[in-house]
Structure 1
Amino acid sequence: MNRLNPTIIFALTGIPLLAAAFVAVLLTMGGQPKPVQYAAVLSISYLLGSVPWGYILLKMRMGVDIRQYGSGRTGMSNVLRTAGGKVAALVLLLDVSKGVLPVFLARTIIGASEADVAAALLALIGHNWPVFLGFRGGRGIATGAGALTILAPISAAVGFLVFVSATFASRYVSLGSITGVVAASLAMLALDLLGYSPTPYTLYGFLGGGIIIWQHRDNIRRIREGNERRLGHPSTGSS
């Protein structure tokens, strides 16, 4: 008898259990003491971020380990190069949701900007260092952008426009990602100084942005050495 694929087992059991835990926290934590609320929300945030959608979908659809291809990352860019646009679009949507849902949960249960930021950071850390995949995940662009869209939509829009412009001007997705992160962080700082955004959100911009840029350090090295492939060529990239 063939053994069940562990990825399928996780998809059929682990993800539904995590979804049930999310709903349980949403429905039951409202009246609990703050430390209990924080513990529940932040734990769920990290676990949601840790779900490696790129790995799961390619393993189930093609029977391959995405970590053995391209950049070795589990995010959308590497999935795009390996499996094509349809699967990559689904991974992008799911990875963005990993940033959106924790912030929504923190805002609903705790209702403090510090909690929103903590949940966003834990989701980002989960995506980049997932407990379900040996702490080897993506670079955090999609998950970080999902959280930023809820926290500071204007800054997210600025970052997206700079990302698109820099990517098409340079033909480097990684450079576009880095410049987009920097632009979004500076936009958050400007809005904070003008009194339109809470200071903790600015902290997320710089801490989260720093994590994402750190995850691109190999891309930065290749750009400096002239070895980074441009958009449209199979290569390592931003995930």
Structure 2
Amino acid sequence: MDFLLIAVLAVVAYLIGSISTAVWLGKAYYGIDIRKHGSGNSGATNTFRVLGKKPGTIVMLIDIFKGWAATSLAGLLVIFDAIPANNLVIFQLIFGALAVVGHIFPVYERFKGGKGVATLLGMMLAVQPEVALVCMVIFVIVLFTSRYVSLGSMIAALAFPMLLLLHPRFHPDNPILIIFGFVLFAVVVLTHRKNINRLIAGEESKANIGIGRKK
């Protein structure tokens, strides 16, 4: 193994994840720090809430791309013979997880970031695109029926490892993908602790489906 290349790409994956799309977009085009408005979160959901549909969509797409790009860096390790090809999935998961960590704790913004759901989706799209697309459908269904973004995010995150575990079509050859899926679900739950408390108390904000606030 080429440990130097692995280390360099691991740092790059974290730095890609650390790109604070919502914060930078808010400051550059709207003159505000998104973390000082709405829920105080620097993710796509709060961007939709504070800035509207167009900037929210831009932030969401870039955050998804961050996860996909960081995860896909693992392919370079195989191209340059830094790792055996059968270890590709393991390093995809490592690099993807580093991107999610970077989104939650971005080095550029004093380690105060978002919840990492969109970046996690990008990671899932790179590793298991079919399962990721099913999870996206599940998220949309939960969102439109409950109007809770947080609930949709957590259920979709849980659906990923459950589909891998229970559905024959998606069952992976490497069980580490299932284990990693449950670990990432736990991370999503941890980053949504306040949302869970608000859901239980009936105080969680509902999304205005299809309605964006114009600036």
| TM-score of the superposed pair, with normalisation by structure 1 | 0.79
Aligned partner letter, 1:199: P
Confirm or deny that 1:81 pairs with 2:49.
Answer: yes
TM-superposed deviation, 1:80: 0.8
What does residue range 69-218 of structure 1 map to in structure 2 within 5 Å?
69-110=37-78, 111=85, 112-190=88-166, 195-218=171-194
TM-superposed deviation, 1:200: 2.7
Report if aligned partners of 2:163, 2:170 keep a CA contact under 8 Å in 1. Answer: no
Cα deviations across residues 160-201 of structure 1 (Å, max 9, x unaligned)? 121111111112111111111111121122358975342232
State the distance in 2 between where 1:91 and 1:225 align. Answer: 29
Report if aligned partners of 1:103, 1:119 keep a CA contact under 8 Å in 2. Answer: yes
Aligned partner letter, 1:64: I
**Structure 2, unaligned runs of 5 or more:** 79-84, 210-215
Report if aligned partners of 1:192, 1:198 keep a CA contact under 8 Å in 2. Answer: no
Q: CA RMSD in A?
A: 1.8
Report if aligned partners of 1:124, 1:208 keep a CA contact under 8 Å in 2. Answer: no
The share of aligned pairs that are identical, in percent, is: 32
**Structure 1, unaligned runs of 5 or more:** 1-32, 234-239
CA distance 1:188–1:82, shift in 2 (3 Å): same
State the distance in 2 between where 1:231 and 1:53 align. Answer: 21
Give secondary structure in 1 for the equivalent of 2:32: coil
State the distance in 1 between where 2:169 and 2:139 align. Answer: 23
Match of 2:5 in 1: 37
TM-superposed deviation, 1:108: 2.5
State the distance in 2 between where 1:187 and 1:90 align. Answer: 29
| TM-score of the superposed pair, with normalisation by structure 2 | 0.87
State the distance in 1 between where 2:55 and 2:169 align. Answer: 41
Runs of 4+ in 1 over 4 A off after TM superposition: 191-195
Q: How many residues align?
A: 201
TM-superposed deviation, 1:96: 0.6
State the distance in 1 between where 2:152 and 2:167 align. Answer: 22
